[in-house]
Structure 1
Amino acid sequence: MKAIILFGHGARDNRWREPFDRLASLWRAQHADTPVELAFLEMMQPSLEEAVTSLVSGGATQITIVPVFFGQGGHLRNDFPLLLDACREKFPRVNLSATPAVGEDLSVLQAIVDFGARSL
């Protein structure tokens, strides 16, 4: 079974996660047959390992992690690969893959441009 993890940085203020919760709700409404979990690098739960554990316990065998970051900064270049490798070691029978940061996708950048244009 395929599943997806939306992976964010995390913050001390719980309100910061509200758009992530909405994003997961949108995913569930549009892709009900593919489970989704949120995961955070720091300061918020669940962690990446906790999210993978949850999906695997639900039967997931192929998990794609989508870093909801604007770009590939130090966290995605240094911290994230270590977390992903640890999950791969813990779940060797699960196919764990990751996309680039969402902010590197042209359609995401265009959506931001369109958002700005609508505000004029």
Structure 2
Amino acid sequence: MPKTALILFAHGARDPEWAEPMRRVCACLHEQAPDRRVELAFLEFMKPELRACAESLLAEGFERIVVLPMFIARGGHLKRDLPLLLDELRRCHPQALFELGAAIGEAESVVQAMARHALALVDG
């Protein structure tokens, strides 16, 4: 089984507080699965960017990198930008396996959690 890491991939923003929910998800993963390697990377405005994060993991001996987009839905960045970034990584590192997950907001469990939260807000 190849040595595997997970990268939570978020858009990024100029306001550093914007990334707090993603940092919380990353921290929860570290608590729930301390033996797994989980990192957070960004498309723009924040560091590390995806390429730097992936190359750092490869330098540590990880052979398989799963990229999970921390986006509500699959828009232009996930349809165009991310595939180009992954294609470049695959060309530069043909020995590594890069896998792309669906946008987290498209997972049924996440949709259901958002619906429960919305109802709880309305119901007080």
TM-score greater than 0.5 by the shorter chain: yes
User: Deviations along 1:28-78, whole A, 9 cap, x unmatched?
Assistant: 111111101111111111111011012112221111000000111011001
Unaligned segments of structure 2, at least 5 residues: none
Aligned residue for 1:9? 11
Query: What is the number of residues matched between the two proteins?
Result: 120
Matches of 2:79 and 2:102, distance apart in 1 = 10
Q: CA RMSD in A?
A: 0.9
TM-score (norm 1): 0.95
Are residue 86 (structure 1) and residue 88 (structure 2) matched? yes
Matches of 2:27 and 2:92, distance apart in 1 = 28
Secondary structure of 2:72's partner? coil
Query: Which residue, out of 112, 117, 124, partners 1:115?
Result: 117
The higher radius of gyration belongs to: 2
Are residue 43 (structure 1) and residue 45 (structure 2) matched? yes
TM-score (norm 2): 0.93
Q: Is contact 1:37-1:55 (8 Å) kept?
A: no
Matches of 2:34 and 2:52, distance apart in 1 = 21
Q: Is contact 1:72-1:101 (8 Å) kept?
A: yes
Secondary structure of 1:115's partner? helix
Matches of 1:44 and 1:72, distance apart in 2 = 20
Amino acid at match of 1:96: F
Unaligned segments of structure 1, at least 5 residues: none
**CA drift at 1:4:** 0.2
Aligned residue for 1:24? 26
Aligned residue for 1:95? 97
Secondary structure of 1:22's partner? helix
